[in-house]
Amino acid sequence: MGYLAFILFVAAIGFVFYRWATRQKRRRRQVLVSDFPVAWRKILQDRVGFYHTLKTEEERQRFEKLV
């Protein structure tokens, strides 16, 4: 019985560590799924010269995902 409790304890600690170690990837994936905020797009248009050199909408969306 003691071994089973120990195994469950180690598994729980491993699960908690895994969730902690992958939190940034999960958060980034969640942010990428959402739409780019309109206010941020206006800031890019007003203040970032490089944004104006992007010719296609696809290039702009790719840049927005990197920001």
- Rounded to an integer, what distance in angstroms lies between the CA atom of residue 20 and that of residue 34? 22
Same domain, 5 and 18: yes
What stretches of 4-61 adopt beta strand conformation (E)? none
Distances (CA, A) of 55 to 13, 37, 52: 49, 20, 8
Q: Is residue 29 located within the same domain as residue 54?
A: no
pLDDT confidence band for 2 (50 / 70 / 90): confident
Task: Please tell me whether residues 28 and 39 are part of one structural domain.
Answer: no
Q: Count of domains in the chain? A: 2
29 and 41 in a common domain:
no
- With the C-alpha atoms ordered 9, 10, 14, 20, is the resulting torsion angle positive or negative? positive
Note down the domain range covering 5: 1-33
pLDDT in tens, 6-35: 999 999 999 999 999 999 999 988 888 888
Q: Are residues 40 and 28 in the same domain?
A: no
* Co-location of 65 and 53 in the same domain: yes
